Chains A and B, each alone.
Chain A
Amino acid sequence: MTEDNFNTMRKMLVVPFLLFALAATAGAQSGSPLLLNAAGATFPYPIYSKWFDVYHTAHPNVQINYQSIGSGGGIRQLLAGTVDFGASDGPMTDDQLAQSKVKILHFPTVLGADVPSYNISGVTGELNFTQKALSGIYLGTITKWNDPEIAKANPGVNLPGEDIVVVHRSDGSGTTYIWTDFLSKASDDWKNKVGKGTSVNWPVGLGGKGNEGVSGLVKQTPNSIGYIELIYAVQNNIPYGKVQNADGKFVKADLAGVTAAAGSLKDMPEDFRVSITNAPGAKSYPISSFTWLLIPAQISDAAKRDAIKDFLKWMLADGQKFNEGLSYAQLPKTVIGKESKAISLIQ
């Protein structure tokens, strides 16, 4: 229909074939390794591809092919049974789980976080954002930069009386899921009118495609604000503001703060489908989330089952060491312990 849809479709079709062909050739040389197919979220793709690569080097008999086609695609392919496991930035809903023939387990792998970046004429310092300020700005109820809600958290900063240009992601994304999940907790109005998801009906604002699209718009447009992934901000040296957490403290996002938020959860549910936005604790950064691998609880092929279980064990121990190098926050120890026990549920 259009060039890009066509390209996307072609990628979806061609890439697996190529990978399969490559894997098949490699297999012929090293005595046919076990091939595992997985698909899903794009946000953790850099760390997943690193893990699968390192794991394959250590275990030449197992090859994991991961297609980063998006969380929605990953869930659909898992439900259709065309992949061995999936990956998603948001946990599967009860409806989706009900559609599956087998029980599906969630395994948190790494943590991601969103940060507010902004471009205000005459303001160079780091701004503090209260939860009310962020939800008000994105709801369109706070429209000027010198609004009292913003000003009271930033004494001494000379905020201009200009209109706020709001920027959000236009493509469906786990980043948007985290952001809207946070806004839903920060404001009842947001929860009831907009809700949380990978794409939502934005009350105000311009849409940019990808982190690069949002940060590009923010950089170009005076008096704008947009949310981007922490990783993207760190790797590209984009300044961002502090956000008020559940304890009322203003926290600047970093990997330790994200891990702290995940570790502060007192009652982690058995299925790991939990939101950690607005987590308690003075050090917890409030806009962060797990990303999950989605694994069927029953795998009939014994070789595949053992390979997946072994990979999960490796991921929780050795795999986590690669996280910070790629700017992903590590899982807290409590979660790792709990997940290690959950691996035995795969049968």
Chain B
Amino acid sequence: MSTSATTMDRAAPRRFDGGGPRAFLHRLGHGDEVAHVLTLTFAAGILLLTSGLVYELWVNSHLSRAKFGWLFFWTRTWDPIFDNFGAAPFIYGTLVTSIVSLVIAVPLGLAAAIFLSELAPRRMSDTISFLIDLLAAVPSVIYGLLGIFIVVPLMRTTVGPILIGSLGHVPVLGKFFKGPNYGVGFLTAGVVLAIMVVPFIISVSREVLLTVPREQREAALALGATRWEATWKVVVPWARTGILGSVFLALARALGETMAVTMVIGNDPKIAASLFAPGYTIAAVIANEFTEATGDLYLSALIELGLVLFLMTFILNGLARLLIVATERGGGHPS
């Protein structure tokens, strides 16, 4: 959305700089005007698509919004039989799984990207990057199967008992690592999501790190920095806007993921502190219940969930932009 806005802001003044029909024909002859109109149309199309989507969600969620109002955000019940709907467990599940996935994927992805761009031989780096880009194209149901057959049993028999046995006794932190451990739940969903989003982080971050000018590294080394210091204190800060961008791309994918999540999260709309408890996410419940939703209010509530997910994505993206602006102001960024 904001991309299209920028395009228009930049493009708008151009329209009036020439003036006159002759100038217009001249530009038309050179294809400038055509390109301008075409790109503007496509950019406006994105805006139209987004607002159309929000409009549809808004209109079709009317029944549910009228009945539950703001309570929809706080209610913990989801009862299609007695027509009582609340989004709280789904919002919680969506946030928790996304956060867990980022906590795992960001350090992993960033480390891999640094290795590929700074340390690995170029040919090796290109080969691995090619494979990573392939990973990003794997359908989510495949990741879901991977989750069911590998992550879930591993979580139930090995990882879960170890975490519960060790971290479970630590005060405060222990709350997040309590049994019973079914193998499916927030943590498993977060792990599968992390596996899914890590290729995005690696791929984008590596590209961004590679664009950091050679002189920056050389200057740091000339000043007596070790190779790691040059990388961590000069190259990474230079590229941090792009790296943050990759993280938010990953977050967006994690927030909206449906299939892989529903296969491993346990699909139980409850709010529990323990990461081993089963949960539910917004995208998963919509996909699961939409086809058989017979009641009008029921359908409306599901559509309102869609609206809530859109709102969450919107807010998180807004926060992301604020964060980027803040880090740019923080100094150190080249411009």
With an 8 Å Cβ cutoff, the count of chain A residues facing the other chain is 43
The answer to whether B287 and A220 have CB atoms under 8 Å apart is: no
Tally of A-B Cβ pairs under 8 angstroms: 123
CB within 8 Å for A206 and B267 given contacts A5-B287, A170-B288, A220-B153: yes
Q: In the complex, how many angstroms separate the beta carbon of B188 from the nearest chain A beta carbon?
A: 12
Binds B, one of A64-72, A258-266, A303-311, A319-327: A64-72
CB B174 to nearest CB in A, in angstroms, measures 21
Say yes or no: is B272 at the interface (Cβ < 8 Å to chain A).
no
Contact A73 B148 (CB under 8 A): no
Contact of B289 with A by CB under 8 A:
yes
Question: Contact check: which of B257, B262, B309 meets A170 at CB < 8 Å?
Answer: B262
Contacts of B284 in A (CB 8 A): 170
Interface-forming stretch among A189-197, A226-234, A328-336? A189-197
CA distance in complex: A195, B292 (Å): 16
Cα distance, A213 to B141, chains bound together (Å): 13
Q: Which residue of B lies closest to A12 (CB)?
A: B291
User: Please, which residue of chain B has its CB at the minimum distance from the CB of A176?
Assistant: B292
**Interface residue count on the B side (C-beta < 8 Å):** 43
Q: Which residues of B contact A200 (CB under 8 A)?
A: 79-81
Known: A206-B268, A217-B184. A198 touches B294 (CB 8 A): yes
- In the complex, B82 has a CB within 8 A of chain A: yes
Q: How far is the CA of A71 from the CA of B290 in the complex (A)?
A: 10
Residues on B lying within 8 angstroms of A by beta carbon are 53, 77-82, 139-140, 148, 152-153, 156, 180, 182-184, 256-259, 262-263, 266-268, 278, 280, 283-284, 286-294, 299, 306, 309-310
The 10 closest A-B pairs by CB, nearest first: A172-B292, A207-B267, A70-B291, A170-B267, A195-B81, A201-B79, A4-B258, A198-B292, A2-B256, A171-B288
Question: Other CB < 8 Å A-B pairs besides A1-B306, A4-B283, 16 of them?
Answer: A1-B53, A1-B283, A3-B258, A4-B140, A42-B291, A71-B294, A72-B292, A75-B294, A197-B81, A198-B80, A199-B288, A199-B289, A201-B77, A201-B80, A201-B81, A206-B278
Give A contacts to B, CB under 8 Å: 1-5, 8, 42, 69-73, 75-76, 90, 93, 96, 163, 165, 170-174, 194-202, 205-209, 213, 216-217, 220-221
